[in-house]
Structure 1
């Protein structure tokens, strides 16, 4: 099953209810159809590939409250920071604001795997007021919330995985490898702690319009003090492309059930 989820990962990023502006990729922009006629809110979900990864789940759990739903997913780029020095990410940085400004949703959801906002402070910088990364994030967020009527929900940062380790889980479990050795081998140390600090500061500076959605309580084991990314049977919650597997999507489903019920 882990292998099957990995090889079908790109296929699973397509949302069957979305009319894509580009038919060649699950990335870019699309608008969901077949929403219930009694939906009340204009909604938008946007971010990097995690948005596409979450899209079917979001429609299933939140779609009944949406009268319209716009989706924007940029491969490898973060909406709040030009996370890669490429023309694509620079263009997307502007496009996210433009599309939200045009859409003017009631609720928007920033669904993004942390790529670069976890970088450390530059030399001689010790506060967020001095931190260029945070100031860019803050400026971008303020532009976004100007055009969001109620709330911007932001998926909080958690550790990503080491892509090459996913395919080894089944063998490690079969061989009786210590589970903590396996769990540690899966984790990608990439500064997610700093990303969390920046997101948390962002909520403080967001004029009351931002809310964090945090998966930590689902994956973090307070006894072992580690994020656990596969279950006792060896089924992985992640794919090698650093998305949630279908098993992982079901593992986080109740979080979105709760978020959507509160809208």
Structure 2
């Protein structure tokens, strides 16, 4: 099979400029700092969102980077909020070949979702081998906040959200466990495009992840104890168990239980807040 090659550099330049022009700063969570002479994002902002250097992005937009990698093109596609059809087009004009197939997570089974919701005071959720959240119960959202949503990935905020270190009081140990699990999962799924893109992005954007990945950390996280500093409940000491779903899907059921009476009471108050503290609709 011939190596991929850039096939249409003028079209690549025009396409990237057009896609950049249609995205507004507030579409991607960036502040509107000053009046802009032209609509859309600046090149520097796209580079920041895609975790690439501004020089590299300028050369990409000018068609001067040779054959860009598939993973970095996906980062640019995500920064520009491209649709799947637009992502496909970007790969064709930049590399001369179709992109890797986007992963669509397999849903958690109805029986597992019923199990989750049968534990109203026990935070529990289902992950696939990419750490994508497939299902969760209300107690998990009460503990981790509304950002803990189906379709999100738990590894990315752990390494990329500055607040994660303050929330996870045992951050270094928990973060290294995630690195070890991702390496073990990649060994079992070496051709999974979603998993490879996730790992490549974390290596680019987190020096800690890159260092631990390069030291060949491998482990299977199954159980342990950790401490969280919750913004309203304070310090919570929790036990966690990760149970394999025995149906060939490589999904995992994660369950949090309190390690003491104080944490048990705090968890219960998060899930069932006193009437006076509940939001009034």
TM-score of the superposition, structure 1-length normalised? 0.26
Higher helix share: 2
TM-score of the superposition, structure 2-length normalised? 0.24
Whose relative contact order is higher, 1 or 2, with alpha carbons under 8 Å and at least 6 apart?
1
Q: Rg bigger for which structure?
A: 2
